[in-house]
Chain A
Amino acid sequence: MWESEIEGKKLTFHLAGINNQNFIMRDDETGTWWQQVSGEAMHGAFKGRQLTNVFTDEITFAVWKREHPNGRVLRPDDRVSKNYEAANWEEEYEKLRVVVPVDPNDKLKPRALIAGIVVNNQPIAYAMEALRQQRLILNVIDATPIFIALGEDNKSVRAFERKVEGRTLEFFVKENQFVDAETGSTWDFTGKAISGALAGKQLKKISVLKDYWFDWKIYHPDTSVYTANQ
């Protein structure tokens, strides 16, 4: 998700093409071509510039509506809704072919699902398989302590910086909630402490991109990868 304004100019975007299985959008105002996944201008007046990222959660509807009972939901367009993906589209997509070159040394298959984060310009891809096995993974990325966790729905992923008032916390999962070992406070899936000494504190959210391994790697060639068997 991107802010529509860049350098004070509001842009209107349309689908304009495909670049290695990630789409290109074109703005009506300047005709610049933008890469959807990176927000980067590839050709045209804004070439080299990047759209400002809007923090986006990719979670199940169940989790979202519990957290935002007063939110609004995009309605389907009845004229074309027959063309929407089927409910099992995720399985269907995994069978689609990949046309970009595949590195034979990769630990993951091209269409393996990953949850990707970028911390201090350092990209890491966590295999969904690893998250399903471990539920919560603690890491330190370039001196920033983080954790990444899978929701009880087995689909929603969130990541947080695990530092509160200068103190690094070690988390574990207990009955679908997170508990920090230092104070025993309980935290919910939004990263907020709901009971214990730290009640009311909010962990800083890190944006998570659920993606296919091959696509993530194109836009983050220097990525590290965390797999289940490590």
Chain B
Amino acid sequence: MQANTPSKTGRWKLWMALLLLVVTTLVIVAIPVFVIMPFKAQTSAGLEWSYWLRRVSPWITITASVMALAFGIKLWRGARWWSRIALPIFLAPILAATWFAHQNHFEWMFNPLPNAAYATVAEANFVNDNDMVLAVEINGEAVAYPVRQMAYHHVVSDVVGGKPITATY
């Protein structure tokens, strides 16, 4: 056995630590997804938990990934073939959870509209006379946001009559 490789009990502890990191990262990202799911009633306590987990999970998962990689490197040295197969199986969910913690999965379902474009009344053949629009008028500038588009994007940033506004539906 090489001098810089962990002892048998040391290896066992590192494997346990890796398992703990897998469970922690998965639970941290899964709880908010589960609590703030559409078509489900939410409680204020559940929302508060989700808010905090969404807030801290990007950092916790990165820390967990760094730790898991360090443990993995230690375990790789002097490892038997089955340990070398097991290592990626432990690391993959941690890295996946880290990636997920940095995503906004709600915007996968409803794409945002960062560079909203506008048409004149004459050009607006994409909206029917009988379609509902949300309309604002500020300092003489009038803008219509068709509800069918807003029901998908939900949030559109704009400046109307010099005032920055957020159209929501």
In the assembled complex, A174 has its CB within 8 A of some CB on chain B: no
In the assembled complex, B16 has its CB within 8 A of some CB on chain A: no
Main secondary structure of the interface of B (DSSP, over half): mixed
In the complex, which residues 33-77 of chain B have their Cβ closer than 8 Å to any Cβ of chain A?
36-42, 47-48, 50-52, 54-55
A73 CB contact (under 8 Å) in B36, B118, B156, B165: B118
- Chain A residues with CB under 8 Å of B142's CB are 64, 67-68, 70-72
CA distance A20 to B42 in the complex (A): 5
Asked whether, in the complex, the Cβ of B153 is within 8 Å of the Cβ of A77, the reply is yes
Tally of contact residues, A, Cβ under 8 A: 64
Asked whether, in the complex, the Cβ of A4 is within 8 Å of the Cβ of B117, the reply is no
- In the complex with contacts A60-B131, A84-B148, A68-B164 CB distance below 8 A: no
CB distance from A95 to the nearest CB of B (A): 13
In the complex, which residues 68-114 of chain B have their Cβ closer than 8 Å to any Cβ of chain A?
104, 106-107, 110-113
Asked whether, in the complex, the Cβ of A60 is within 8 Å of the Cβ of B129, the reply is yes
Tally of contact residues, B, Cβ under 8 A: 67
Asked whether, in the complex, the Cβ of A87 is within 8 Å of the Cβ of B116, the reply is no
In the assembled complex, A141 has its CB within 8 A of some CB on chain B: no
Asked whether, in the complex, the Cβ of A61 is within 8 Å of the Cβ of B146, the reply is yes
B129 CB contact (under 8 Å) in A61, A67, A83, A89: A61
- In the complex with contacts A74-B149, A87-B148, A68-B119 CB distance below 8 A: no
CA distance A56 to B113 in the complex (A): 20
Asked whether, in the complex, the Cβ of B128 is within 8 Å of the Cβ of A24, the reply is no
Asked whether, in the complex, the Cβ of A59 is within 8 Å of the Cβ of B164, the reply is no
In the complex, which residues 120-169 of chain B have their Cβ closer than 8 Å to any Cβ of chain A?
120-121, 123-124, 126-138, 141-157, 163-169
Top 6 A-B residue pairs of the complex, sorted by shortest distance between their CB atoms: A71-B142, A68-B142, A17-B36, A62-B129, A43-B51, A4-B164
Interface residues of A (CB under 8 A from B): 1-5, 10-21, 23-25, 31, 33, 36, 42-44, 51, 54-62, 64-65, 67-77, 79-80, 83-85, 87, 89, 97, 99-101, 153, 155-156, 210
